[in-house]
Each structure stands twice: as structure tokens, then as C-alpha cells.
Amino acid sequence: MSSVRINESPNHFMVLDAIGRGLKSFDKIAKVTRLDKAQVELILNDLIEQRLVIRTEKKGLFARKIELTLSHTGLQLLNSKKQELEKQMQQIQQWQSSGQTQQLQSYMDDNRMWMPMMLFSGIMNAVFFMSMISMLGMAMSPAESDLAGGEGSGTAADSGESAGAEDSGAAADSSGGGDFGGDFGGGDFSF
């Protein structure tokens, strides 16, 4: 039996969510979750061993094809975790809108590992996440940056979400600077 406690592993839930979205192959799951292939293989073995994922082999024209699907228990576990994270997201939004940075900071200290799963599953959008990180004066981890639409990530296209999130994020980032209003008051700005 696996020593991993699934309920404490965001990466396991990201893989479950990818399979729940209809991704049936190892390579597609690795690509969309942005986890390395060795890690995805270990996670899949854990999920299959714990009967949360069903592995079936189908005969193809040239080779056997392996397909992955969620078991009933796997689907229930995934939905339960998503509901839990959605409730947490509502609380995070309340704290952010009321400027309660101490509560946000405490939540992030205790639950930072769940941010990639929240971004991947669409529970938290990238623009909100970046504004929260900025409000707290924190830097994004590489996993968060990839899933939030970092350089060359393509996450929005892979998961079917709106591709406008990156543009909105860029607009939000640029609004933090000085306000030049359109009239520079003269001066020579030739380069």
C-alpha cells in the first residue's frame, strides 16, 4: 500500500482532476498538469493502487493503448476536495476584499501547497491569485507561475479557460506604476 496520504497531496488531486476532465493518457496528463513524467507515473501508480483510478488496456492496431478513468470513489474524493477548496476560496476573497492581510498571510503560510491545484482546477483564477500575491508582497513559486499563465505556459488553452486572463494580468500589473495620464507635459522623449 502507498505511504502517500492522498488528501494531503495537491499533485495527486491535479492528476485526478485531469483524468476527470477526460484526459486518458499519461503524456496528456503530464503535459496539462505541468508535472514531470516520473512524478506523474508515481502518482498514477498510487491512485491505481488505492483504486481511485481505473487503468484499462485496449488493443490498438500497432500496440496496446492504456486508458485511465476515475473510479466512483476517485470522483467522490475529487468532488469533495474541490468543494472544500471552493469554501476556502470564498473566505480568501472576503479577506482580500476587506484588506485583511494578516488572515491572508496566515492562510498562505498554512496552505500554500494547494495554490497550484486551485489554479489548475479553476477554483482560483490567475488574475485574482496574482493580485493576492502582490498584496502580500510574495513571489510566486515556479509551479504557481506555470499554472497562473507564466512565460510560455499555455495553461489557459490547455484547460479550455479564457485566454484573456494573461492580458488582464498584464493590465493589472501595469496599473501599479505611476499615472502618466496621457499628457507628459512636454519634454523630449526621443530614443
**pLDDT tens figures, 62-72:** 888 888 999 99
Residues 98 and 21 both lie in one domain? no
User: Residue 59: pLDDT above 50?
Assistant: yes
**Residue 180 belongs to a domain:** no
Q: Is the pLDDT of residue 136 over 60?
A: yes
More confident residue, 124 or 181: 124
163 and 104 share one domain: yes
Q: Are residues 87 and 170 in the same domain?
A: yes
Please give the pLDDT value at position 26.
87
Given a contact cutoff of 8 angstroms between Cβ atoms, the answer to whether 105 and 136 are in contact is: yes
Residue 123 has pLDDT above 80, yes or no: yes
Give 63's DSSP letter: S
**Averaged pLDDT for residues 39-47:** 95
- Give pairs for 104-107: CB < 8 Å, separation 24+: 104/132, 104/135, 104/136, 105/136
* pLDDT greater than 70 at residue 164: no
Please state, in angstroms and as integers, the Cα–Cα distance from residue 102 to each residue in 90, 107, 111, 135, following that order: 16, 9, 14, 11
Q: Do 96 and 43 lie in a common domain? A: no
Residue 90 included in any domain: yes
Give the mean pLDDT of 166-177: 37
Asked if pLDDT for residue 160 goes beyond 50, the answer is no
Q: How many domains does the chain contain in total?
A: 2
The CATH code of the domain that includes 20 is 1.10.10.10
Dihedral sign for Cα 147, 153, 156, 162, please. Answer: positive
